[in-house]
Amino acid sequence: EAGVAQSPRYKIIEKRQSVAFWCNPISGHATLYWYQQILGQGPKLLIQFQNNGVVDDSQLPKDRFSAERLKGVDSTLKIQPAKLEDSAVYLCASSSTGATEAFFGQGTRLTVV
């Protein structure tokens, strides 16, 4: 079974530029999560989708971050414009209905200079 796929693995951009990350969850997984992991900290949930609907985006900085999961499968997380403090690893995770764990992708490491 293929795992959670994320791309790109690494991205370097200048502040005020925009960037997008892509996530393809495990086939059949209805729930998808985006986490932000700043160096030296644990991951922090940004947004949770159930199929193509948002369940929780309370910790998403909506003035610059957006996310979508239009067809209920893959998802895109966008930052526009980026700030230096957005430098982090962005992790995508998915889980199936009734499952008691989530599976994580390898993450996208973003460096804002």
Partner 1 sequence: AQSVTQLDSQVPVFEEAPVELRCNYSSSVSVYLFWYVQYPNQGLQLLLKYLSGSTLVKGINGFEAEFNKSQTSFHLRKPSVHISDTAEYFCAVSGANAGGTSYGKLTFGQGTILTVHP
By the criterion CB under 8 A, which residues form the site for partner 1? 4, 31, 33, 40-45, 48, 55-56, 91, 93-95, 99-102, 104-107, 109
Backbone torsion region of residue 109, taken as left when φ is above 0, otherwise alpha when ψ lies between -120 and 50, otherwise beta: beta
Distance of closest approach, residue 58 Cβ to partner 1, in angstroms:
11
Nearer to partner 1, 81 or 87 (CB): 87
Using the 8-state DSSP alphabet, how is residue 69 labeled? -
Query: Three-state SS string across 71-104, please?
Result: CCCCEEEEECCCCHHHCEEEEEEEECCCCCCCEE
Nearer to partner 1, 19 or 43 (CB): 43
Indicate the burial class of 53 (C-beta count within 10 angstroms; 0-12, 13-18, 19 or more).
exposed
Distance of closest approach, residue 107 Cβ to partner 1, in angstroms:
6
Nearer to partner 1, 81 or 103 (CB): 103
Distance of closest approach, residue 67 Cβ to partner 1, in angstroms:
15
Nearer to partner 1, 19 or 108 (CB): 108
